[in-house]
Amino acid sequence: MNTASAVRAPRGGQSPILSIKGLSKRFGGVAAVDDVSLDVFPRETLAIIGPNGAGKTTFYNLLSGRMKPTSGTIMFDERDITGMPAHRISRLGVSRSFQINNIFNEMTVLENVEVAVTAYRGDSRRWLNLASRNRRVRDEAFELLARLSLSGLADRRAGVISYGDKRLVEIAVVLATRPHLVLLDEPTAGMTPDETQRVMALVRSLAADGDYTFLVTEHDMQVVFGLADRILVMHRGRRLVLGSPQEVRAHPDVRKAYLGDEDEEIAP
Ligand SMILES: Nc1ncnc2c1ncn2[C@@H]1O[C@H](COP(=O)(O)OP(=O)(O)O)[C@@H](O)[C@H]1O
Ligand SMILES: [Mg+2]
């Protein structure tokens, strides 16, 4: 349990960074996301859980602009981003990691992060040369790598590092764009326990002292309960339960609908 979150979680009068109302996405007869309303507050970490097919990835696709909703509205930072194209939403500060790797294998780890830092600065002129000359870009990239304990891999080609390290580099790339809202889709899937710990430590430290709000989908309940200020449980596209980790853990519907197995433990 993240005790610091108990201090951070109450937010009387604070306006949400993300405000979703009646959000739905249909694929033919299937409501992948079904009338979901939700407010997310600055600097909180909200975990989204639910069985396969619950609608988590579709929910991210709607928030990041990859898909347009069938109905409902999405406000980010008091701006209506419903149906906006992905590149505009990303420019506004919503960044997303993917379940698949999204980095350049031929470049070094450092170059991958430098490209992202430079791209964020909006300089399109021969960016790679520029980046290599620009000490500030390099420093920023190094600092991100250090935060992820990746400094030792800075000069390795991204194509040859381990799967877990690639996913960590991908998170560094996401953070290099200085997002305010970060959507992590199963960030620790396929990672070793050590790599999982590194991701958790990073998210915790960024949530504690940075201007970051995280949405995290995750199957690993230790990660969910170790990171989340609040948890949204989705089931068949709907918002089943939204509450503190304690509330979610105690909720009878969660065990029934999410686990589908009375004997299984939802948390350590
Ligand atoms: N592009 C798509 N076309 C048709 N059906 C889809 C598409 N994407 C997702 N679905 C359906 O929407 C539902 C929710 O899927 P998804 O968002 O991937 O859930 P989760 O990420 O929670 O596993 C599932 O029934 C899935 O089959
Ligand atoms: Mg998914």
pLDDT in tens, the chain (268 residues): 444 444 444 455 689 999 999 999 999 999 999 999 999 999 999 999 999 899 999 999 999 999 999 999 999 999 999 999 998 998 899 988 754 567 899 999 999 998 888 876 655 455 555 555 578 888 999 999 998 889 999 999 999 999 889 888 988 998 888 889 999 988 888 889 998 998 898 888 888 877 899 999 998 899 999 999 999 999 999 999 999 999 999 898 887 766 554 444 454 4
How far does the centroid of ligand 2 lie from the alpha carbon of residue 185, in Å? 7
Cα–Cα separations (whole angstroms), residue 162 to 103, 108, 220: 13, 13, 20
pLDDT, residue 4, reads: 42
pLDDT, residue 101, reads: 60
pLDDT, residue 240, reads: 94
Locate 199 and state its tokens. Answer: 């991701």
Which is the closest atom of ligand 1 to the Cα of 50? 22
* Ligand 1 pocket, residue 33 CB under 6 Å: no
- Scan for tokens 């509205």, then name that residue: 73
pLDDT, residue 210, reads: 77
Locate 244 and state its tokens. Answer: 């503190």
Residue 194, number of CB atoms within 10 A of its CB = 9
- Taking alpha carbons only, the member of 119, 65, 68, 133 closest to residue 76 is 65
Contacting residues for 97 by C-beta, under 8 A, at least 6 apart: 167, 170, 171, 174, 182, 183, 184, 185, 187
Pocket probe for ligand 1: among 24, 26, 30, the residue whose CB has the most ligand atoms within 8 Å is 30
pLDDT, residue 57, reads: 94
How far does the centroid of ligand 1 lie from the alpha carbon of residue 32, in Å? 6
Which is the closest atom of ligand 1 to the Cα of 59? 17
pLDDT digits (tens, 9 = 90+) for 130-139: 555 578 888 9
Contacting residues for 129 by C-beta, under 8 A, at least 6 apart: none
What's 1-93+179-268's CATH class? alpha beta
How many CA atoms, within 13 angstroms, populate the side-chain half-sphere of residue 255? 12
- Contact assessment for residue 76 and residue 94, using Cβ atoms and an 8 Å cutoff: yes
* Ligand 1 pocket, residue 95 CB under 6 Å: no
* Ligand 1 pocket, residue 54 CB under 6 Å: yes
CA 38, CA 102: separation in Å to the nearest integer?
29
What are the residue ranges of CATH 3.40.50.300 in the chain? 1-93+179-268
How far the first Cα of the chain sits from its last, in Å, is 10
